[in-house]
């Protein structure tokens, strides 16, 4: 059989990969596979290999970045760079160029195994090596050199099944993975090394020989079996006076003598080396494909836990503590979040980074389901419980991607009479104590930020009241090195005021006044100042002026002393659900469902998720799913561009049955203010008593002939709506005679909070 030289396959592989990358760009125009080559030091051979990889990447369409650290880099510095790449969602492959050329001792194995397995396109981490050894070839990255060797062997057309293969060398990069790859392709494999007795005899039995020992021309042609396939991975330099450089590169096999015995052989250079680079590119493209597949809309791979239902239903806190929560990082992975998109707060809580929205821009939007209620009671009517139960049913029972969006409970209801807002029974957020109390601490941070703003404004008002414009300007923009200079924040403030100047000396007196003085209405500040000092304040608040306080007013004051010397929109498809009481009969429940449907509800179903978890809301979930599949006919009750007053009037007349509305002075002031500020086009969400369609809780049924008083209007600009306050409705509930906090206690030994429900 004539000798065949195995080479040039790499060009076919690169061409195929280039087509695949172009195909990705067709469906994802802004996407590009990303590769990072991390090098430590400046070895000449490493520089050569890296340049080959970067060239191949550019040819294929891969965005390759060469990160080069100096020889002084420490192990921790290298590790930090690896972690940065691991958490970069734009990078799909990371290779650590070996050897690590540092003046410091670096644990190479630790560095290699710190690479995220899903980005280990070199296939050298213990995870990928272990999967290869176990035969999980479809779930791992195969090291590039053995993978390239296998492709070269397959090019011969010779079946590996039953063939005797000999691998000389047992390195983690070539020999060991080559053995595993041949084995799982059904060859009978023998690995030889420096301690192997009678190496020539073993080589002579091989149908397939792969060498990777770094010994120039060690394997002689006379060792080979006639017709063998010879794959030479060796790269060795020997002296050759006939070459201008005085050196030439040879493999581990003596090529001239081997070509007379072998049927197939790879040249050195030009055989395995280019295929190694091609396989690196192939692994990178494969990793990028995995990334894109993870972004495609599809079912979350969630492992739902089974509920151990008890009868009678225990207390909420008992149920919460009986459930073992899944580690939050596991849940994040199951729903397709990346590690760098999740900020962990212990094992049960995490924040999702806002940048995740950018990554998911191309994803289709899901359905937005609002769980709401009417005629609320002081003890709550089950909105949170139903929200959790519905999501349990949609996810665990209907196998749909669904998540609940609930707010952190306020301290007032939690410590008052209503209790927490984590849901209840077998449809609750766990651990309920952490959810109801501190969660991630953001509320406390907001409180601190509000206090800081209050202190800053108070101090500024004092300084403005006691200094001239010139004195303020000199202190705000002081002379430094003989000149004044605005800070970036100050320039931004000037631009907001329409002053397009950057040189402090060019401001007019009127512009200086606008710059140094804040536009604050003192009437909106509740603090009363002691005139003689900036360090002692008298805060005076009168409590009980609301009509709901029944005339019981009281004045609260306190001093802070610095010691001397110390420094509605209506157009919804209604889905009614009923949460029953134990005394409810089937006939009663059926009647309510019938009446709700006759009144226009899309469906009405009985739910038992408090007692049965998601299974108890399965019918509700199916009803919601059907409604969500209907065409979207949402529209506002009014033209969103109408003036604020007109939108409120339309709601009052068409929904509540009022003859007209009456704007009290404060409400009229807010209308003028919000219109001036550009908020007039925001939709309206009315805040009024739930006990009547009118503003008077005593008027039941369908009252008529009344005028709806609007006492104030407030803005939730971030949420995107204005909310008028109707009549005397309070916005902050008071505490009852026997609030919940009477029963709340802390176990100082276990750290558990008792008394929550």
* Choice among 32, 53, 594, 688 that is catalytic: 53
The order of strands in the sheet holding 660-663 is 660-663, 707-716, 721-726
Q: What is the SS3 assignment for 8?
A: coil
Find residue 528's DSSP bridge partners: 538
> Locate tokens 């940065």: which residue?
84
Angle at 438 between CA 436 and CA 439, to 5 degrees: 80
Q: Cβ distance 472 to 464 under 8 Å? A: yes
Assess contact for 292 and 21: CB atoms under 8 A: no
Q: Are 64 and 58 in contact (CB under 8 A)?
A: yes
| Residue of 310, 312, 317 whose CA lies nearest to 420 | 317
Q: List the beta strands (DSSP E) in 546-695.
A: 554-560, 575-579, 603-607, 660-663
Angle, alpha carbons 138-142-147 (nearest 5°): 110
Q: Is the bond preceding residue 99 a cis peptide, omega within 30 degrees?
A: yes
> Rounded distance, CA 431 to CA 439, Å?
10
Q: Are 112 and 96 in contact (CB under 8 A)?
A: yes
Q: Is 297 helix (H, G, I), strand (E, B) or coil?
A: coil
Distances (CA, A) of 17 to 32, 122, 195, 276, 644: 13, 17, 41, 14, 59
Which residues, 6+ apart, have CB-to-CB distance to 427 below 8 Å? 385, 386, 388, 389, 392, 609, 610, 613, 614, 616, 617
Q: Is the peptide bond prior to 312 cis by the omega test (within 30 degrees of 0)?
A: yes
Long-range pairs for 587-595: beta carbons < 8 A, 24 or more residues apart: none
**How far is 85 from 552, CA to CA, in rounded Å?**
64
Output the six-digit token pair for 411: 């301290």
The answer to whether 177 and 131 have CB atoms below 8 angstroms apart is no
CB proximity list for 430: less than 8 A, separation 6 or greater = 320, 323, 325, 348, 422
Whole-angstrom Cα distance, residue 449 to residue 328?
28
53 is catalytic: yes
Tokens, residue 264: 């197939």
Cβ–Cβ under 8 Å, residues 521 and 669: no
Where is 199: in which H helix or E strand? helix 199-203
- Please count the other Cβ atoms lying within 10 Å of the Cβ belonging to residue 681: 15
SS3 452: helix
- Asked if 272 and 143 count as a contact pair (C-beta separation under 8 A), the reply is no
Sheet holding 93-96, edge to edge: 63-69, 34-40, 93-96
Contacts (Cβ under 8 Å, ≥6 apart) of 62? 21, 32, 33, 34, 35, 281, 284, 285
SS3 content of the chain, % helix, strand, coil (to 5): 40, 15, 45
Distance between CA atoms of 70 and 329, rounded to whole angstroms? 35
DSSP 100: -
CA dist., res. 477 & res. 485, Å (int): 7
Intra-chain end-to-end CA distance of the chain, in Å: 84
CA dihedral 418, 424, 429, 433 (to 10 degrees): 50
DSSP secondary structure string for all residues of 123-154: --SHHHHHHHHTT-GGGSPPPHHHHHHHHHHH
Positions annotated as catalytic residues are 53
């Amino acid at each position: 059989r004539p000798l065949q030289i195995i080479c040039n396959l790499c060009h076919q592989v690169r061409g195929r990969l280039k087509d695949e990358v172009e195909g990705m760009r067709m469906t994802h125009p802004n996407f590009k596979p990303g590769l990072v080559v991390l090098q430590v030091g400046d070895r000449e051979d490493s520089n050569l290999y890296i340049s080959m990889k970067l060239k191949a990447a550019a040819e294929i369409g891969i965005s390759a970045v060469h990160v080069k650290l100096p020889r002084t880099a420490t192990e921790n510095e290298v590790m930090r760079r690896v972690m940065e790449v691991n958490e970069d969602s734009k990078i799909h492959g990371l290779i650590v160029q070996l050897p690590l050329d540092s003046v410091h001792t670096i644990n190479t194995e630790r560095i290699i195994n710190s690479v995220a397995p899903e980005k280990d396109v070199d296939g050298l981490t213990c995870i990928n090596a272990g999967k290869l050894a176990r035969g999980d070839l479809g779930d791992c990255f195969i090291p590039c050199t053995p993978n390239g060797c296998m492709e070269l062997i397959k090019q011969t057309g010779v079946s590996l099944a039953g063939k005797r293969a000999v691998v000389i060398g047992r390195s983690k990069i070539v020999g060991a993975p080559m053995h595993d790859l041949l084995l799982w392709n059904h060859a009978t494999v023998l690995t030889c090394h420096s301690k192997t007795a009678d190496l020539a005899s073993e080589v002579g039995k091989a149908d397939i020989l792969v060498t990777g020992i770094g010994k120039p021309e060690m394997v002689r042609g006379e060792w080979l079996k006639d017709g063998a396939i010879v794959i030479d991975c060796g790269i060795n330099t020997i002296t050759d006076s006939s070459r201008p450089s005085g050196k030439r590169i040879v493999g581990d096999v003596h090529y001239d003598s081997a070509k007379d015995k072998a049927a197939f052989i790879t040249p050195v250079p030009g055989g395995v080396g280019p295929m190694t680079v091609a396989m690196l590119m192939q692994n990178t493209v494969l990793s990028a494909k995995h990334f894109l597949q993870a972004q495609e809309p599809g079912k979350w791979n969630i492992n739902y836990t089974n509920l151990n239902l008890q009868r009678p239903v225990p207390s909420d806190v008992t149920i919460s503590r009986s459930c073992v929560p899944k580690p939050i990082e596991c849940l994040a992975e199951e729903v397709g979040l990346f590690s760098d998109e999740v900020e962990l707060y212990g094992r049960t809580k995490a924040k999702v980074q806002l940048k995740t929205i950018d990554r998911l821009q191309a994803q289709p939007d899901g359905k937005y389901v609002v769980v709401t209620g009417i005629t609320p009671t002081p003890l709550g009517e089950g909105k949170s419980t139903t929200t959790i139960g519905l999501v349990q049913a949609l996810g665990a029972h209907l196998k749909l991607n669904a998540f609940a969006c609930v707010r952190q409970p306020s301290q007032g209801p939690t410590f008052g009479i209503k209790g927490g807002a984590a849901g209840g029974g077998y449809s609750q957020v766990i651990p309920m104590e952490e959810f109801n109390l501190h969660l991630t601490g953001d509320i406390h941070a907001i409180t601190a930020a509000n206090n800081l703003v209050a202190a800053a404004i108070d101090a500024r008002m004092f300084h403005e009241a006691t200094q001239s414009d010139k004195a303020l300007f000199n202190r705000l923009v002081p002379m430094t090195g003989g000149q004044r200079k605005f800070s970036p924040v100050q320039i931004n403030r000037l631009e907001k005021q329409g002053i397009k100047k950057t040189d402090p000396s060019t401001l007019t007196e009127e512009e200086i006044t606008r710059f140094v003085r804040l536009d604050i209405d003192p009437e909106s500040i509740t603090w009363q100042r002691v005139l003689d000092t900036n360090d002692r304040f008298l805060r005076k608040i009168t409590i009980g002026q609301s009509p709901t306080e029944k005339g019981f007013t009281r004045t609260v004051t306190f001093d802070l002393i610095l010691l001397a010397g110390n420094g509605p929109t209506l157009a919804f498809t209604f889905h009614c659900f009923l949460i029953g009481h134990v005394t409810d009969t089937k006939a009663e429940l059926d009647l309510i469902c019938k009446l709700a449907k006759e009144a226009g509800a899309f469906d009405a179903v009985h739910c038992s998720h408090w007692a049965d978890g998601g299974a108890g809301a399965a019918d509700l979930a199916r009803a919601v799913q059907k409604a969500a599949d209907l065409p979207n006919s949402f529209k506002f009750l009014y033209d969103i561009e109408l003036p604020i007053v007109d939108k409120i009037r339309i709601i009052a007349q068409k929904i509540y049955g009022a003859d007209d509305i009456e704007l009290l002075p404060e409400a009229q002031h807010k209308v003028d203010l919000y219109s001036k500020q550009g908020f007039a086009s925001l939709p309206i969400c009315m805040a009024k008593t739930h006990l009547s369609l009118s503003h008077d809780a005593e008027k039941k049924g369908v009252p008529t002939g009344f005028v709806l008083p609007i006492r104030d209007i407030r803005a939730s600009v971030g949420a995107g709506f204005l909310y008028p306050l109707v009549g005397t409705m309070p916005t902050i509930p008071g505490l009852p005679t026997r609030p919940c906090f009477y029963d709340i206690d802390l176990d100082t030994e276990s750290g558990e909070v008792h008394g929550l429900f």
